[in-house]
Each structure stands twice: as C-alpha cells, then as structure tokens.
Amino acid sequence: MSAVRRGPLPGDTIARKFCNAVRLRESRVALRQKEFGIWQEVTWREFGEHVRRIAMGLAAHGFQPGDVASILANTRREWTYCDYGILCAGGVSSGVYPTDAAGQLEYLCSDSGSSFLFVEDDEQLDKALQVRERLPRLRQIVVFDMEGLTGFEDPQVTSLERFEAAGAEYDRMHPGEFERRVDSRGADDLAILVYTSGTTGRAKGAMLSHRNLRCVMENFPPEVEQSEGDDKMAFLPLCHIAERMIGQFLSLETGSRLNYVENPETVAENVREIAPTIMLAVPRIWEKFYSAISIRIKEATRLEQWAYKAAIGLGYRVADLRFAGRPVPPGLALVNRVASFFALGNVRRAIGVHRTRLALTGAAPISPELIRWYCALGVDMYEGWGMTETSGGGSLNLPFARRLGSIGKAAPFNEMRISADGEILVRGDNVFMGYLNQPEKTREAIDADGWLHTGDVGVVDDDGFFRITDRMKDIIITAGGKNVTPSELENELKFSPYITDAVVVGDKRPYLTCLIMIDHENVENYAQERSVPFSDFASLCRSHEVQELIQGEIDRVNAKFARVEQIKRFRLLEYKLTAEDEELTPTMKLKRKLVNEKYRDLIEGMYSQTA
C-alpha cells in the first residue's frame, strides 16, 4: 500500500484542521467503537456534529476562548469528541488519567484552572464530587455514561446527551458563533495541556500550542505514512502524548480510522478483531504478546514447535540481513515467504498483527531482541522516541534507515544533538511552550538557544542514529565507582515471559540488586504445570521453584554483562500491582524513585546479609 500524502490537511490550528477534515471526508468512516458487542462506525460528518454540539454546549454554559476543560475517562470515542469540542470552542484541553485518585484529580484541575470537567461514568464522577468543594473555578461536570445515575440530581452535573442537546439549541440561536469560536485561536495559542507522569515530585503541565502539534502532524516521516485506508487501534491512555499524537491527531491529519478498544482489559481480544494495519504500542504490550506466544509454543505439539522454530529461524536470517543493510538473496527471501505464510501466519493471527504493515514502539525502552523477533515474525517494527515536551515526535527508525537498538535518526521536523555532558537535546517547532505555572522548570528545560534538555543520556553515531543509554537521573554509580545504566539490564530481564518489570538498584552500593515484578499468569501456569503448591500471590512468589525460575532468568541476563554489572541478589514484589497503585505509572512501568523508597527494607535486606 503506497500512501503519499497530498500535502498537509489545511488549517493552522487543530480546530480549523478538524473542520476541514469533516468537510473533506464527509461520509468516510472516522472511527469505530463497540456497542453491545457490535462494532459501530462513526462517519466524519457524525463526528463533526458531536464535536460541534459539545463546542456549543461549552459556549452555552459560559465557556470562553482560552478557558481550560479537563477530561477524565478511559480511551473511548467521547474522549476524542470532547477534546476536539473543547478546541473548537477556543479552549484548552487537559487530560486526566482514569486511574488517578481523587487527590490527583483535584491537583490537576486546580493547577490547570479547569472550569469544565468531562468524566466517563459514575465511578469517575465520584472522584470529582469528592473534591469539587476545593475547586472553586469548576462550573460544570459532564458525564458520558449515566448508567447508575438515573436518580441522581445535581445542578453542577449533567449528562453528555443533555449537554449536546443544549449545545444544539444554542447553535440554532447563535448562528456564526461556532465559526467565530473556531477562528478565535491562532497557531501560537495554547492548545492542550499534557501532565507528565511525575515520577519525581508533582506532575508538571506541559503546554503544547497548535503549532507544536501541527509540526509533528504535518511532517511525520512519509516513509511511515498513514492513510485513509489504515486501521489503527486506540487503547493507550489518551492523556498520554503517544496515543494522542500518533493515534488521535495523526488520524485527523491523515484520515486513518481509529478503532477504540472496549476497555483496558480487552486489548488482547480487540486487537484480533480490529487487526490494525498500523499499530503503536508501548514495550510492555509488545512484551505481553511475545510472552503469550512463547508460552503457547512451549505447549504446542512437537511438529508445531519444529515448524515454528524453522520458520522463525529463517525470519531471523532475513531480518538480520535487513538490519545490516545487506541484500537478501532471492532464494532465502522466497523460502522465508513460504515458511512465513505457512508456519508464522497463525502466530501473527493469534496476536492480531496479521494485517500490520507498520508496528511502532516507543514511550519506554525496549529490548532489541524483541524488535528482532517481531521482524523475524514478519511484522515490521520500528522504534521511535519522543516525549511530551516534543509533542510526541523526536526520532524514528525508518524502513530504509534503521539500526537495531537505536531510536533512529532525528525526524525531519527537529534537530537533535548530544550535549557536552551526554544529554540529548532537541530543537524545533515541536518543542513545547513550557510548563504551566512553573517558569523555573521551563527555564531548566529549554535553554537560551531554544534547545530542550530531555534528561535522556545518549550517543549518536556517524550516520546520525541516536541511542539512549538511560535517563540522566537513573544512572547508577556503584560504590566501586562503576557507571551502570540500569535500563539495559532491566530490558533484558523484561524480555523473559515470567518478568513484567524490574528495577535495578545499586547507587553507592557495593553491588547491584534487583526488585522484580513477576508476570502473574505465566508464573502461575509454570508453577501449576510443575505441581508446585501455592495459594495466593505471595505464596507463589515465595515458593522455592519460582525463586529458582527467576534466578535462572537473572543468570541468563547476567551472562551478557561484565562481572561488576551483574545482579547479585533479587527480591520479588509480593503484591500484585495494578494501575491504581502509586508504584506504577499509568503505562504500567515501575516508578524507580518511589519503588526505591517504598521498598527500602526489602532493598536493605539484599545488602545486610553477607553471602
């Protein structure tokens, strides 16, 4: 499928772009969402009507251009309706993670000065009601799903349905108001606020202007182009810049269809139903798919195992040649295609990536082995890098310019270089306006020459490929004076189907140790298969065999590193952590700093005993 964009979607703000997209695409399908088990399509026209009514609903309730509204919901189409509705009303849109607690919601609403809050359902509404007394600027709460709220009356709360109806009415009474609102903002005005997950201290609201967003939208590398024929799956939190930009905003720019998952737990089933042609996911998701397959291969018949092994072996040979930039001999290419068709087709279908021509990974470090595996499987995977402060864009590997283990070359829309102390710097129109209400933090981030200091330490090779070694503040210096980049070890560990996440510890310590979060399902099955008795999660973690299993995984990883970089001891986290827990970021990564503090005793235990 070749898809060359005919030039950017006209419009210098997101709102104008949206109106143009509705006009140009009319009856084409914009997005899909499941209702009572059936995928329902929404055309651009219908999409546009929702957005217009929401924008007018805001206007009817006294929302002014420049005002801020927040959205607290899982990834679903109403999130996107409201996002564009707020922007079309001339406002600023700010996302709140659905897993955030009431206290966090209060902080985000008051820091952003939100006057309107859109919430998903009664569960999210309860958070808002708990803290609304302390939010004097909050005027109205709008609820998407009123199930369980039929008897609930509150002057400050309304349903999205009623809100849209009020908007339609207002629209009729005030012709031209919508257009006036859309035109009220310019390219350099603030468009959205994206709060960074705040692994250190309180969350910071990154301000992104229309120009920032447009920079990435309009100049996304054409080699990995999306088009109206593409299906994407929207499932990562929309308040995170990755899904917002690569999913939502690029769909606006290019017309690719967005398919919303039912809820965060149904991703594995939904991906098979949607069979996306382009898929962006975080490493954790790619790791999960891989673990599921490797477990299934272990349980398969001998013949199936043999076929898989032979076919993936050929796939690796082809993938490695491609990575080396060398031609693939026609004979090998043919055998690979045949083997891939017969033996790997089912594996791709089992995951749901059988139509995927482009798999993107980003937002966290990934093991190069995993990218190699996907490429061998026949799913072209490219690692990219970006952050909230660069509007989600930064660098990307491309079909004819990629290097395993690198984050690719700088995207055409921004410059990148390495500072004297090894930090990656970025400059371009995609670099954000600054942190809301925190001018000092902004000055720390963007220097006088306009370079953004990313906090990532990296290197660049002669061909311009960047490689990230670690977060600046994460680098461990052991008591012996050795510099260790924990993420290298951690990524290798996470490659194990039995390990979900790991945090390597060892700053100012004699040796390295590690806290490990096991993959509940896979370890449980491992234990049950081997008749290891266990009852709850903690007893599973404590069982001798599981400890041995993880020790084995650590030994495997240790073998790849020098002695001083090896992990000497480890502990398993005996609680099953969920996204609501403070230890995890909304993208389910362990927060290094918090884990280091919270599990201090566990960590001290690894250093107190003498071997």
Q: Enumerate binding residues for other proteins (CB under 8 A).
A: 121-123, 125-126, 129-130, 147-148, 152, 524, 527-528, 531-537, 539, 575-576, 578, 580
How is residue 473 annotated by DSSP?
A: G
Instruction: Choose between 168 and 295: whose C-beta lies nearer to other proteins.
Output: 295
What does each C-alpha distance from 178 to 18, 55, 508 come to in angstroms?
13, 7, 60
For β-strands 512-518 and 499-505, DSSP reports them as: antiparallel
Instruction: Choose between 227 and 543: whose C-beta lies nearer to other proteins.
Output: 543
Q: Least separation, in Å, of the C-beta of 535 and other proteins?
A: 4
CA 206/CA 445 separation, integer angstroms: 11
Please return the burial class of 173, using the count of CB atoms within 10 Å of its CB with bins 0-12, 13-18 and 19+: exposed
Q: Least separation, in Å, of the C-beta of 100 and other proteins?
A: 14
Q: 553: which residues sit within 8 A by CB, 6+ positions away?
A: 493, 496, 498, 499
CA 295/CA 328 separation, integer angstroms: 31
Instruction: Choose between 122 and 507: whose C-beta lies nearer to other proteins.
Output: 122
Instruction: Choose between 127 and 244: whose C-beta lies nearer to other proteins.
Output: 127
Q: Least separation, in Å, of the C-beta of 398 and other proteins?
A: 40
Q: Least separation, in Å, of the C-beta of 528 and other proteins?
A: 4
Please return the burial class of 204, using the count of CB atoms within 10 Å of its CB with bins 0-12, 13-18 and 19+: buried
Q: Residue 401: which region, alpha, beta or left (left: phi > 0; alpha: psi -120 to 50)? A: beta
Q: Least separation, in Å, of the C-beta of 127 and other proteins?
A: 9
Half-sphere exposure of 129 (CA within 13 A, CB side): 15
Planar angle of CA 549, 554, 556, nearest 5 degrees = 95
Q: Least separation, in Å, of the C-beta of 536 and other proteins?
A: 5
CA 79/CA 71 separation, integer angstroms: 7
Instruction: Choose between 189 and 524: whose C-beta lies nearer to other proteins.
Output: 524
Q: Least separation, in Å, of the C-beta of 126 and other proteins?
A: 5
Lookup: tokens for 163: 């809100």
Instruction: Choose between 148 and 412: whose C-beta lies nearer to other proteins.
Output: 148
Instruction: Choose between 436 and 527: whose C-beta lies nearer to other proteins.
Output: 527
What does each C-alpha distance from 417 to 49, 58, 213 come to in angstroms?
44, 43, 21
Instruction: Choose between 463 and 536: whose C-beta lies nearer to other proteins.
Output: 536
Instruction: Choose between 117 and 233: whose C-beta lies nearer to other proteins.
Output: 117
Instruction: Choose between 231 and 519: whose C-beta lies nearer to other proteins.
Output: 519
Q: Least separation, in Å, of the C-beta of 573 and other proteins?
A: 11
Q: Least separation, in Å, of the C-beta of 584 and other proteins?
A: 13
Are the C-beta atoms of residues 255 and 21 closer than 8 Å to each other? Answer: yes
Instruction: Choose between 419 and 578: whose C-beta lies nearer to other proteins.
Output: 578
CA 115/CA 64 separation, integer angstroms: 10
Report the Cα 606 to chain-centroid distance in Å.
33
CA 71/CA 482 separation, integer angstroms: 45
How is residue 8 annotated by DSSP?
A: P
Q: Least separation, in Å, of the C-beta of 123 and other proteins?
A: 4
Length of the chain: 611
DSSP 3-state percent helix, strand, coil across the chain (nearest 5):
45, 20, 35
Are the C-beta atoms of residues 25 and 41 closer than 8 Å to each other? Answer: no
Instruction: Choose between 110 and 130: whose C-beta lies nearer to other proteins.
Output: 130
Q: Least separation, in Å, of the C-beta of 534 and other proteins?
A: 6
Q: Least separation, in Å, of the C-beta of 606 and other proteins?
A: 22
Lookup: tokens for 99: 């897993």
At 558, which amino acid appears?
N
Are the C-beta atoms of residues 324 and 402 closer than 8 Å to each other? Answer: no
